[in-house]
């Protein structure tokens, strides 16, 4: 057990993967000598040489397309997009090739690429540096999309992403890079497709992922004062999604709030809310509510706290879960009338 | 082209300036005119200082594959009329490029084709039925790209330029002397991915030949809307990549130039850019109406530069082909086409549940659910059908 | 009144807009002499000259970025992306500039661009020609996203898109291009932000948009045989979304199925389902169900009918709306237990 | 650079080939070496045949703005240390480029800057507080781009190249003789949007000057990882765009070359590409640690080519500047910096509800709901604060 940051855990995951598997190569903008603007690749070039970890020309479609070619030659590329919005130039390569190559070729070609995307805000970044872009990838069949919220998950999910036979978009919550925790590396937590109950509770379920997980946990803590015992589920892997864990929790608690940092409209939270009510309708005492960023471009630093879903916004939603309204008389009336 | 008054003036002035260090870019520039080894009528030109003529056996084989390739192409177009293919982009008129590129490569080199390269792929020995799978519609890529060392035919324009750079670099990285040849059209050179691909290849000295078939149109859009440059080959110098233009309807020149480009790449000198000036004789695809945007006269003029006839004339004159040999090739081509027609006759069946097989290595729980749903739908439909 | 195709109505809308407003310029790949691969711009160059309607180099980021510049100079560009997946190279220009310029500049710059995207399948197209990409845009704040399902709406929404002060991603369902209907041009139907009840009904609401609207109508027709009287709501403008019309319908019918052609995960249908249950929870007798394309890359022509949500899949969902289960006893029990 | 054995061989052979038609590309090529009018120590070189020296008053003004610009830049860096700015990308060392570009333009020409061009923007007369809004964090773009004919500082690299083409074409289309100047860094030339932008400008003959400040690094990545070309200016010919290299630390040469490039564009000859060889003296931003990737020696060597000192030496030697004048400019610069420091002292207040004002011309119903929610949150928070 040692205390370390998520950044360090990610760095260790890369190093250990490179050590275990010669085919792993790491590249992108500034990942070499500089070690990445967030230092996630720090020391890899010095340790493994500039063929295993190298800088590329400044071109994201190029980086991802180059990774496609390298993967076709049998390597296992791990690429870094410097910031969320700077992965957009690679969108065609990701959506039309990375996501589809296995399918297009009936499995003859696979492209086990990891695309690391530092994402989301809360770091006082200027425009284009704080986008929450996970929904774009999650909506694209053929991609796996995972996002750690803890130091151990950061290590474990990244190792698994690199070992996975499919392309993985690995979303790293920037604001958690330098939060530290006890971790026992090489940690292996749950595999892809498993959500985790981070905090058990009985009254309502908070479903969150990535940067929203600490917010959910904090809100659950604060909710104790209001007399609510909230369960917190960390989604961990958005695709594949763990219906079983989420559904079990909501069936138990009967109430659910989905929290995401991204703008809400047609985001991952919408998917989760839709799934939960599809699967838990009869267990629900209230609609599944969503707490998310506003439907606005990510704002300038001085206004980001207004945009970001915080503890208060979560508690407001929890308060709206119709605690004194079970069963809901209106519901019965209308049902009878139908 | 932008020969502005200023530019001209500058040029003249420059003449009088004292010589500075020699311009390192000079060696990367293409010749001002396309390399040509045969006249349009098939008469050989004086030997070219940089591009020796390929061995005659190679030219005979080139001819053979061009004849078969053309016959294949005509057959594929016919299949669209019979409803056996949804759509087919013909490369008639581009036979020298399609086949020349393949002959310039080793079997274990990699090819990165576009939708237009069906002829190239059959010249590579890929089963034409597999090549046409995409256009028949039973799946996307019908051949095994890994086994055939041929990427799936690429529709998102220019994206393959980057893949070729990565593949070639990855092969070299692993100690293999593979060359990658990426086909690209004139129009697609305007895409950012062309730029990024060639640049990556150059920076990483990846053994790639970028082969631009400048057939003068991107669907309906003429070359003048793609570039103001004197020729697309001039893009190379901006990447530090040597480049050349070639008469794309001169099969001998195409093979000669590409052979050298491949050798350059294989020798570890990095990428090479070749622009072939050619012409798409047919509409963009059978679904296109080319009369909307070009004159019959223009098309007719290109008929006189037919690459197949040009090579045949030359080889006959050299005594490397005679009536019997030509007839034999024609017969082989007919048999090839007949076989293709036969094998394309029946609509293939595809298992709808296979839709779920290759989205991921293992289907996600979500896909398993959806597969169950579809299975139930199919069962219900079958029952209804039975009832 | 004349019978015409949606393609013709779109063409007429472009022509009328160009006639009314000199600032309107139309450009893209093959839109000039050829009139576009779907002939939506047919005749515009001949009629308005090659400065008003012109072909560009083959580069989608270029086309959209050029439109941004033209809009900054005071023009009103209407650009065509040749097919859905071929708009992906422009994704950065769309997400980071088109969507954000007004916001970034506190309204000092506006970019009233219309990006026309022929989208979705059902036409036997080869790969990359049939993507349903509306969710990518709908999830991007700053863009309006509209999609017509009728001939008159095609005309009216496109005229409004061109006149709108904001950038509009105008999604044209390819499979409806050559379906014809009576239309009275210059038709002006409902403005942006208004959904429309295409078919009144009492038992359940089908919410659909674009290519799914005819499927919904057909399903509603077929459902009569099963004894269900279904209401069909055509969303028309995904952003801004018309909560009022959708909510009113579902409150009335008490049941809802959302239909979209796109792959389901984190799509627009998820948003609609999430919103409906948030807003109509107590009116609902069953969960809001979704019918959508499968979560797979768009398949080859011979399998597209398996992928596409058709009448049967819609009716299956309607059948699952728990018709004999009101009020749901399980619900009561669990509610009591909570 | 890729001077391969083959390429060299070819070059030599080519010398002996009979002359063909003159290569139309020649006129588009940059000189093999950067244009320079002053020696690094400020000594004037013999007159350049293509680039006459700008009038002395222009050079005096250039000097003045460079001094103020540098002082502004130093002040902005200081503000980061005091926590008044989140981040600041310095352009120290690039003063000749930053100011020269602005002086080459008319006031109603358009500028397309990147995040690095703060100095250029204040040289354009934009209020420095407005320029620093982005980096202070109270909003994104702090100035009115339409009024200042200056696009918002562009962070998504190279995307502005296309906007500049569109703006310039749109202006010309509407009969205005506006020129657009797009700044871009060496690293960003690797992006597809650089390619697409320059190409659009060339095809549409849009009056754009693309001005590459090659400061040899993209954050930590050296030029050798961006290109294998002998110089970035060689990219022009591939678009049919004339181009030039210039010593980017020679203010006189920068102004001379850009003046001519702007005239070329304004005269209707289409775009012009200029590459300035310069150096970023500071880290990428204050948050960067440049010692990780470059030697102090390298930085020191560039100190000797300081553009401000170089111009001052020259103007003093010409008698156009004296001690008094230099002191007056220094004083003006100090006052400018002091005023900036004062005005940046207080944290600005921004109304959180303004978040909803400019997403669309009118907020959607969804945004109205969200605004109401935020308003309620703020009211609740205020109440709590009161309580
Ligand atoms: C990114 C992208 N944009 C648009 C298209 C649609 N499209 C298919 S072929 C084509 C023309 C291509 O012209 P060119 O590159 O000259 O190749 P050719 O068809 O002449 O062989 C276009 C615009 C596409 N496939 N991909
Ligand atoms: C599309 C995109 N990718 C990555 C970045 C992150 N980034 C910001 S500045 C920079 C380096 C740019 O280098 P260069 O173009 O040489 O300009 P300079 O900073 O030297 O002025 C990078 C990689 C970005 N802003 N946009
Ligand atoms: Mg072409
Ligand atoms: Mg730089």
Task: Say if the Cβ atoms of A93 and B140 lie within 8 Å.
Answer: no
Give the number of the ligand closest to the Cα of residue B91: 1
B358 closest CB neighbour out of A75, A96, A102: A102
Task: Say if the Cβ atoms of A287 and C278 lie within 8 Å.
Answer: yes
Q: How confident is the model at residue B21 (pLDDT cuts 50, 70, 90)?
A: low
**Domain annotation covers residue A48:** yes
Report the alpha-carbon distance of residue D185 to residue C119 in Å, rounded. Answer: 36
Q: Which residues are paired to C215 by β-bridges?
A: none
Mutate which of C27, C59, C63, C86 for ligand 1? The one with the most ligand atoms within 8 Å of its CB, which is C86
CA of B218 to the centre of ligand 1 (A): 6
CA of A167 to the centre of ligand 2 (A): 26
Claim to verify: residue C202 and residue C266 sit in the same structural domain: yes
Q: SS3 letters for B69-96?
A: HHHHHHHHHHHHHCCCCCCCCCCCCCHH
Question: Does B17 have pLDDT greater than 70?
Answer: no
pLDDT of residue D347: 87
Q: How far apart are the first and last CA of chain A?
A: 60
Task: Say if the Cβ atoms of B157 and C129 lie within 8 Å.
Answer: no
Mean per-residue pLDDT, D167-182: 98
- Provide CB contacts within 8 A for B324, sequence distance 6+: none
Give the domain extent around A128.
2-183
Claim to verify: residue A22 and residue A48 sit in the same structural domain: yes
Claim to verify: residue C171 and residue C34 sit in the same structural domain: yes
Claim to verify: residue C223 and residue C322 sit in the same structural domain: yes
% of residues, chain A, pLDDT over 70: 96
Closest by CA position to C132, among listed C267, C300, C274: C267
What DSSP letter does each residue of D9-65 carry, written as one string? HHHHHHHTSPP-SPPTTGGGPPPSS-B-SB-TTSPBPSPPSS-PPPPHHHHHHHHHH
Report the alpha-carbon distance of residue B344 to residue B138 in Å, rounded. Answer: 12
Tokens of C191: 């403005």
Ligand 1 contacts CB of residue C59 (under 6 A)? no
What DSSP letter does each residue of A78-118 carry, written as one string? EEE-SSGGGGGGGHHIIIIIITTHHHHTTTSS----EEEEE
**Domain annotation covers residue A336:** no
pLDDT of residue B4: 41
Domain map (residue ranges) of chain D: 25-344, 352-386
Report the alpha-carbon distance of residue A99 to residue C297 in Å, rounded. Answer: 8
Give residues whose Cβ lies within 5 Å of ion ligand 3. Answer: B 185-187, 215, 218
What letter does residue C142 receive in the DSSP assignment? T
pLDDT of residue D8: 36
- Provide CB contacts within 8 A for C179, sequence distance 6+: C5, C6, C151, C214
**Domain annotation covers residue C248:** yes
Domain CATH for A321? 3.40.50.920
Question: Does B11 have pLDDT greater than 50?
Answer: no
- How many CB contacts within 8 angstroms connect chain A with chain D? 112
Mutate which of A58, A118, A133 for ligand 2? The one with the most ligand atoms within 8 Å of its CB, which is A58
**Which residues in chain B have Cβ-Cβ distances shorter than 8 Å to A111?**
none
Report the alpha-carbon distance of residue D181 to residue D175 in Å, rounded. Answer: 18
* Residue located via tokens 């001819």: B63
**Which residues in chain D have Cβ-Cβ distances shorter than 8 Å to C245?**
none
Q: CA-CA distances (angstroms) from residue A12 to A22, A24, A43, D293, D382?
A: 16, 14, 10, 22, 45
Tokens of D221: 């990545």
What DSSP letter does each residue of A260-286 carry, written as one string? EEEESTTSHHHHHHHHHHHHHGGG-SS
Claim to verify: residue C325 and residue C209 sit in the same structural domain: yes
Predicted complex ipTM = 0.96
Task: Say if the Cβ atoms of D145 and C142 lie within 8 Å.
Answer: no
Q: CA-CA distances (angstroms) from residue B200 to B170, D3, D313?
A: 12, 17, 43
CB D201 within 8 A of CB D179: no
CA of D218 to the centre of ligand 2 (A): 6
Q: Is the dihedral of CA B182, B186, B191, B196 positive or negative?
A: positive
Q: Please, what's the b/e burial string for D88-101 (b: 16 or more CB within 10 A of its CB; e: otherwise)? A: bbbbbbbbbbbbbb
* Residue located via tokens 């002040």: D75
pLDDT of residue A250: 98
**Domain annotation covers residue C79:** yes
Question: Does A134 have pLDDT greater than 70?
Answer: yes
Tell me which of C160, C183, C206 is where a domain ends.
Answer: C183
Count other C-beta atoms under 10 Å from residue B378's C-beta: 14
**Domain annotation covers residue C338:** no
Domain CATH for C56? 3.40.50.970
Q: How confident is the model at residue D15 (pLDDT cuts 50, 70, 90)?
A: very low
**Domain annotation covers residue A337:** no
Chain D interface includes C240 (CB < 8 A): yes
Tokens of B249: 């309807």
Tokens of C295: 């979560």
Ligand 2 contacts CB of residue A253 (under 6 A)? no
CA of D308 to the centre of ligand 4 (A): 20
pLDDT of residue A1: 79
Claim to verify: residue C163 and residue C206 sit in the same structural domain: no
Claim to verify: residue C8 and residue C129 sit in the same structural domain: yes
Q: How confident is the model at residue B22 (pLDDT cuts 50, 70, 90)?
A: low
Report the alpha-carbon distance of residue C337 to residue C179 in Å, rounded. Answer: 54
Q: Best residue in A27, A72, A146 to probe B by mutation, most B CBs within 10 Å?
A: A72
Q: Hey, which bits of chain A come out as E strands? A: 2-5, 24-28, 53-55, 76-80, 114-119, 144-146, 168-173, 180-183, 196-199, 204-208, 230-234, 237-239, 256-263, 289-293
**Domain annotation covers residue C291:** yes
pLDDT of residue D26: 84
Average pLDDT, chain D: 94
* Residue located via tokens 């005096």: D60
Helix axes B56-81, B95-103, angle to 10 degrees: 130
Could you give phi then psi for residue B274, rounded to 5 degrees? -120, 130
Helix axes C212-226, C311-319, angle to 10 degrees: 50
pLDDT of residue C299: 98
Mean pLDDT split into 10-residue runs, chain C, 338 residues: 95 98 98 98 98 98 98 98 98 98 97 98 97 98 98 98 98 97 94 98 98 98 96 98 98 98 98 98 96 98 97 96 60 34
Average pLDDT, chain B: 94
Claim to verify: residue C25 and residue C127 sit in the same structural domain: yes
Total domains in chain C come to 2
What letter does residue C93 receive in the DSSP assignment? I
Claim to verify: residue A73 and residue A113 sit in the same structural domain: yes
Closest by CA position to D183, among listed D203, D200, D169, D163: D163
Question: Does D18 have pLDDT greater than 80?
Answer: no
Question: Does D4 have pLDDT greater than 70?
Answer: no
Q: Prior bond to C186 cis, omega within 30? A: yes
Task: Say if the Cβ atoms of A72 and B366 lie within 8 Å.
Answer: no
**Which residues in chain C have Cβ-Cβ distances shorter than 8 Å to B157?**
58, 86
CB D185 within 8 A of CB D160: no
Tell me which of C183, C207, C226 is where a domain ends.
Answer: C183
Mean per-residue pLDDT, D219-245: 97
CATH entry, D25-344, from 3.10.20.90, 2.60.260.20, 3.40.50.970, 3.30.420.40: 3.40.50.970
Tell me which of C183, C206, C232 is where a domain ends.
Answer: C183
Closest by CA position to D217, among listed D276, D157, D284: D284
CB D244 within 8 A of CB D257: yes
Claim to verify: residue C201 and residue C177 sit in the same structural domain: no
Average pLDDT, chain A: 95
pLDDT of residue C191: 97
Report the alpha-carbon distance of residue A241 to residue A252 in Å, rounded. Answer: 19
Tokens of B381: 């439909």
Tokens of A194: 């498993």
What DSSP letter does each residue of B103-115 carry, written as one string? HTS-TTSEEE-BG
> For the sheet containing C76-80, what is the strand order?
C53-55, C24-28, C76-80, C114-119, C168-173, C144-146, C237-239
Tokens of A322: 């119709």
% of residues, chain B, pLDDT over 70: 94
pLDDT of residue A99: 98
Q: CA-CA distances (angstroms) from residue C258 to A258, C49, C255, C270?
A: 20, 44, 10, 8
Ligand 1 contacts CB of residue B157 (under 6 A)? yes
Per-residue model confidence as pLDDT tens digits over D67-95: 999 999 999 999 999 999 989 999 999 99
Question: Does A218 have pLDDT greater than 70?
Answer: yes
Closest by CA position to B209, among listed B76, B102, B122, B129: B102
Task: Say if the Cβ atoms of B190 and C30 lie within 8 Å.
Answer: no
**Domain annotation covers residue C280:** yes
């Amino acid at each position: 057990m040692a205390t370390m940051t998520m950044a360090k855990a990610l760095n260790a995951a890369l190093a250990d993967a490179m050590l275990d598997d010669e085919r792993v190569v790491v590249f992108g903008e500034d990942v070499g000598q500089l070690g990445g603007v967030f230092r996630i690749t720090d020391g890899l070039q010095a340790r493994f040489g500039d063929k295993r970890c190298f800088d590329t020309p400044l071109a994201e479609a190029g980086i991802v397309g180059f990774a496609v070619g390298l993967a076709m030659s049998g390597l296992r590329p791990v690429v870094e997009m410097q910031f969320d919005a700077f992965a957009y130039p690679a969108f065609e390569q990701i959506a039309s090739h990375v996501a589809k190559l296995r399918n297009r070729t009936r499995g003859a070609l696979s492209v086990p690429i990891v695309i690391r995307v530092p994402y989301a805000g809360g770091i006082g970044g200027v425009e284009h540096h704080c986008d929450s872009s996970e929904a774009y990838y999650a909506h694209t069949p053929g991609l796996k999309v995972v996002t750690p919220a803890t130091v151990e998950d950061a290590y474990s999910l990244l190792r698994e992403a690199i070992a996975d036979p499919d392309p993985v978009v690995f979303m790293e919550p920037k604001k958690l890079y330098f939060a530290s925790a006890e971790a026992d590396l090489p940690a292996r937590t749950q595999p892809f497709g498993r959500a985790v109950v981070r905090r058990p509770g009985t009254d309502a379920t908070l479903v969150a992922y990535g940067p929203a997980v600490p917010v959910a946990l904090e809100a659950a803590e604060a909710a104790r004062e209001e007399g609510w015992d909230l369960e917190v589920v960390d989604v961990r892997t958005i695709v594949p999604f763990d219906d079983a864990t989420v559904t079990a929790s909501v069936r138990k608690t009967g109430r659910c709030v989905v929290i995401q940092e991204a703008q809400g409209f047609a985001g991952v939270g919408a998917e989760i809310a839709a799934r939960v009510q599809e699967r838990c309708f009869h267990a629900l005492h209230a609609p599944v509510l969503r707490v998310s960023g506003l439907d606005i471009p990510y704002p300038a630093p001085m206004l980001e706290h207004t945009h970001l879903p915080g503890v208060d916004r979560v508690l407001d939603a929890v308060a709206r879960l119709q605690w004194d309204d079970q069963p809901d008389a209106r519901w019965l009336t209308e049902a009878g009338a139908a | 082209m932008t020969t502005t008054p200023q530019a001209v003036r500058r040029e003249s002035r420059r003449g009088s300036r004292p010589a500075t260090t020699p311009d390192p870019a000079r060696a990367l520039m293409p010749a001002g005119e396309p390399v040509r080894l045969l006249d349009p009528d098939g008469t050989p030109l004086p030997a070219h200082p940089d591009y020796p003529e390929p061995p005659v056996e190679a030219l005979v084989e080139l001819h053979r594959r061009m004849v078969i390739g053309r016959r294949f192409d005509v057959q594929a177009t016919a299949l669209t009329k019979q409803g056996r293919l949804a759509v087919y982009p013909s490369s008639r008129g581009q036979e020298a490029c399609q086949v020349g590129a393949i002959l310039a490569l080793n079997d274990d080199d990699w090819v990165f084709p576009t939708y237009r390269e069906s002829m190239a792929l059959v010249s590579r020995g890929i089963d034409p039925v597999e090549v046409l799978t995409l256009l028949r519609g039973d799946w996307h890529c019908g051949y095994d790209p890994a086994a055939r060392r041929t990427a799936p035919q690429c529709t998102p324009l220019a994206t393959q330029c980057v893949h070729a750079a990565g593949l070639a670099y990855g092969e070299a990285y692993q100690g293999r002397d593979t060359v990658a040849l990426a086909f690209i059209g004139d129009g697609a050179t305007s895409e950012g991915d062309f730029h990024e691909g060639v640049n990556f290849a150059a920076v990483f000295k990846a053994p790639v030949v970028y082969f631009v078939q400048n057939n003068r149109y991107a669907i309906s859009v003429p070359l003048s809307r793609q570039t103001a440059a004197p020729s697309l080959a001039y893009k190379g110098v901006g990447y530090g990549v040597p480049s050349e233009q070639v008469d794309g309807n001169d099969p001998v020149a195409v093979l000669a130039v590409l052979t050298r480009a491949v050798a350059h790449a294989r020798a570890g000198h990095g990428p090479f850019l070749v622009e072939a000036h050619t012409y798409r004789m047919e509409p963009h695809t059978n679904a296109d109406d080319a009369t909307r945007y070009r004159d019959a006269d223009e098309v007719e003029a290109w008929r006189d530069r037919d690459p197949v006839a040009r090579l045949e004339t030359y080889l006959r004159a050299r005594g490397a082909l005679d009536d019997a040999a030509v007839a034999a090739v024609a017969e082989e081509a007919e048999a090839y086409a007949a076989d293709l027609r036969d094998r394309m006759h029946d609509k293939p069946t595809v298992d709808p549940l296979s839709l779920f097989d290759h989205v991921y290595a293992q289907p996600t729980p979500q896909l398993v659910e959806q597969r169950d749903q579809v299975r139930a739908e199919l069962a219900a439909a079958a029952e209804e059908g039975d009832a």
